[in-house]
Structure 1
Amino acid sequence: MSDKVNVKNIICIAGAYLATAIGSGFATGQEILQFFASQGYMGLIGALISMVLFSFLGAEVITRGRELKLKEPTRIYTFYCGKILGKFYEWFSPIFLFGILIVMISGAGSTLTEYYGINPYFGRVLMAVATLITVSMGLEKLVSILGRIGPVIAVFTIAVGLISLFKHFDGLSMVGEAMKNIEVTKASESPIISGVIYNTLNIIVMIVFLTGMGASIESKKDAFWGGLLGGVVFMTAGIVMYLAMISDIGNLYMKEIPSLYLADNIAPIIGVCFSVALILGIYTTAVPLLWSVTNRIVEDEHPKFKLVTTVIAILACIGGFLPFGKLVNILYPYTGYMGLLILVCMVYKAITCRQKSTQSQE
């Protein structure tokens, strides 16, 4: 196995990680609004904490997936959490993943409705069908598709955030005053807790898929640097969007799709382009979610994989008729708390594995 650094592979790995993380909550701005912008200036502390944790998550899980090469990626829970707790997560996490898949599909409907006035049912069905078709292609094709789309969405998101921030830069000095007169939905009262649970929420969402992706990577260095880069770029985009949001918080805090509001304020054509990026962002997270839920029931190459995928996609589409904003506020924080225990186990396991490796080399 080659252990040379391949920049192209690193970018593809980081891109797939980015694409998996972005999703409807991030792309629409609801996650950034509720976890960070709702905290005012203090939200930056939470965002920086998330950046460190996302970098660790990507580097650790993708590298570990490459090392273990598990036939059933859900077994990663047992590796990190032990037999009893790990088995609990193996069976319980698909329920959370299915719930977040519903959020993705609901977000697709909300995006098309808010910008184009299209019936939300159409957007939800369209997203469910697109996700179903992609997952049916298998894991390798899936990673290739996500690896190409992820960097494009991240760059576009950062560009929109920077332009919006420049346009409303004076608003940064008035955030404290603006926050006194409005009531923004918060994921947590503490910016530190918000920063941690935003990451732990995504552990539940991504750990199985990242483990499966890692198993297909040859180079350990590519796996490590791809995961690290993905985490840094993801939260760099998040911080830029956070700053853009708080600079105009008084006008966007009630918006269902706050990031689309920012893009549309730059220019109508930017709003149109960003709406496409939003849909792609939702799609790139819905796909690995559907794959992860299905993979818990039947393996990727099983003859009934496509049938089970179809059934789950239909059920998620039905659940997607629930209101998007409320789904984010109810499901995401609690899923984050569930992921917190996994993070603690993951850090402990990473330290003990490192110590054993050091001792064996002495």
Structure 2
Amino acid sequence: MKTQSKKKHLIVAGIAALLMASSLGLNINTIGVFLQPMASSLNVSMGAMSTHSMLISIGLACGAFIVPPALNYFNIRWLVLVSALGLAATTVGMSFSTQVWMFNVLGFIRGVAASLSAIVPLQLLINNWFIAKHGLATSFVFSFSGVAGALFSPILASIVENQGWRMALVIKAGILVNYGYSHLKNQDRKTNNPYTYYLGKYFGKFMQWYTPFFAFLINIVMISGAGATMNQYFGLDSRVGTVLMTIFVTATALLGLSKLIDIISLLGPLTVVFSLLIAILTLVQNPGNFLQAEQAIQATENVPFGAGNNMAFWLLGGILFVAYNIVAGVPFITNLRLEAQNKKQPWISGIMGGVGLMSGALLLNVAMLGHVDTLVNVEVPVLYLAQQISPVLGLIFAFILLEEIFSTSAPMLWTVVDSVTKQDTKKSVKQGILIAVSLLSLIGAQLPFGTLVGIVYPFTGYFGIVMLVLFIGREVWENRKQRAVEEGD
């Protein structure tokens, strides 16, 4: 019994130490790596950027007063969840920030988010578990703040030097959310888990934690896209558009109007049809100048490229497009197989969906290449092409885009909530988490839509490439194993 008790105490101390490492060590003690490159990028002084660090500390202090009353209503696991999502969202938000005030606002929010899984909750956890060796446990846990800072600072500095500070922040956000999910979802997984089955124990678990975070990022992109669409066609302030879509999506989810989402989703094929129509009409009426496309792409500035900014990267760009769809589609593909009436249905659905999606994407990319010099300055290029063909076609396509954004955003929102809750979780708790995720998505959606698309999807696509290789490898290995068994019989 004493051995089991010691083991439990060691596990608690280890989890607390890792939480300290992520919430304070990685989150705050590595910020010095970014200050100089951020200041240079924004053409401001180091003094102006140092305010960001000060506001993180103020947010950390203010958030400490929230923790004790919050623990009266929520388990510490939920505070860790909110903290992980908050830290990840604000860190990603920083990677897209272009003004000092944006960094300062996000810095304060980061401090508040960090407080939910840092000093106060961890000290309470230590007080509850350790009495005789209270001082030793406290010293051990809090030392990981410095250890994580010392460990991750040179790693992040190397990423900043080679990939830039914006990409380094995105990677840092991925590490932070991985920490949060690993502490929250520490129960045993089912053996039929598709992630661990195909991807292995460690990478599979990482992708199982990353996929809900990617769903969260997709929700941010969708909300931002709604604002960009309303601004581009209707002239409405993009911030107003993001607020309207957030309210609509959140209200639908809270009211449980899943049937409405299902009905609107049936209009999905219209998107493929209209995309093909827009691409074909553009190529027929005004194909543009393909010969100058590469020069126009290389001449663009302040546009993120996940694969590179010349045509030599065309193959990698195409693979990334397929790969990021795989990451987002795994949960839905699994459900499709479970709900299928026979083995042919998933195959037919996959082939039809893939051919339809890729046909539209291929023709649209060809159509856009002839107008690259104009489209790089437009948030929603396909809508612009539709407007050039006909105002009526533009109006119809604008509504189709908003419908698609809604029918994508709502399921992604529930994917995030379902991934961090159990079936028997109280409805009020789920609704609270849903509202929190919606608000974080709204904050992230204030970043430019084009920038979000240019970073979120290609970055995730690299994970998707690894997944594709492992998926194919697993299927080949299983088929060979089955043949060997059949030949042996």
1:202 aligns with 2:202: no
Q: 1:262, 1:339 → 2: CA distance? A: 30
1:157 aligns with 2:278: no
Partner of 1:8: none
Out of 244, 261, 264, the residue aligned to residue 126 of structure 1 is: 244
Deviations 1:106-151 (A, max 9, x none): 1111110111111222221222233334545779848843651211
1:228 aligns with 2:361: no
Does the CA contact (< 8 Å) of 2:250 and 2:434 recur in 1?
Answer: yes
CA offset at residue 302 of structure 1? 4.7
CA offset at residue 301 of structure 1? 7.2
1:301 and 1:281, CA in 2 relative to 1: closer, same or farther beyond 3 A?
farther
Task: Please tell me the residue identity of whatever aligns with 1:227.
Answer: G
Partner of 2:471: 346
Partner of 1:279: 402
Deviations 1:16-46 (A, max 9, x none): xxxxxxxxxxxxxxxxxxxxxxxxxxxxxxx
Number of matched pairs: 292
* Structure 2: tracts of 5 or more residues without a match: 1-188
Task: Please tell me the residue identity of whatever aligns with 2:215.
Answer: L
1:225 and 1:92, CA in 2 relative to 1: closer, same or farther beyond 3 A?
same
What does residue range 200-349 of structure 1 map to in structure 2 within 5 Å? Answer: 200-299=323-422, 302-304=425-427, 305-349=430-474
* Structure 1: tracts of 5 or more residues without a match: 1-70
CA offset at residue 316 of structure 1? 1.0
Partner of 1:188: 307
CA offset at residue 361 of structure 1? 4.4
Task: Please tell me the residue identity of whatever aligns with 1:188.
Answer: A
Q: 1:114, 1:205 → 2: CA distance? A: 27
1:201 and 1:259, CA in 2 relative to 1: closer, same or farther beyond 3 A?
same
Identical-pair percentage: 33
Q: 1:103, 1:167 → 2: CA distance? A: 31
SS at match of 2:193: helix
SS at match of 1:215: helix
Judge which range, 160-169 or 201-210, deviates more. 201-210
1:301 and 1:115, CA in 2 relative to 1: closer, same or farther beyond 3 A?
farther
CA offset at residue 294 of structure 1? 1.6
CA offset at residue 250 of structure 1? 3.0
Q: 1:284, 1:220 → 2: CA distance? A: 27
Q: 1:349, 1:134 → 2: CA distance? A: 39
CA offset at residue 160 of structure 1? 1.2
Task: Please tell me the residue identity of whatever aligns with 1:198.
Answer: F
1:181 and 1:294, CA in 2 relative to 1: closer, same or farther beyond 3 A?
closer
SS at match of 2:236: coil
Does the CA contact (< 8 Å) of 1:110 and 1:324 recur in 2?
Answer: yes
RMSD: 2.9
SS at match of 2:473: helix
Task: Please tell me the residue identity of whatever aligns with 1:78.
Answer: T
1:352 and 1:249, CA in 2 relative to 1: closer, same or farther beyond 3 A?
same
Q: 2:424, 2:242 → 1: CA distance? A: 27
Q: 1:138, 1:72 → 2: CA distance? A: 28
Q: 1:185, 1:310 → 2: CA distance? A: 31
CA offset at residue 338 of structure 1? 2.0
Q: 1:86, 1:296 → 2: CA distance? A: 15
Q: 1:72, 1:149 → 2: CA distance? A: 35
Does the CA contact (< 8 Å) of 2:199 and 2:470 recur in 1?
Answer: yes
Does the CA contact (< 8 Å) of 1:102 and 1:320 recur in 2?
Answer: yes
1:113 aligns with 2:236: no
Does the CA contact (< 8 Å) of 1:294 and 1:308 recur in 2?
Answer: yes
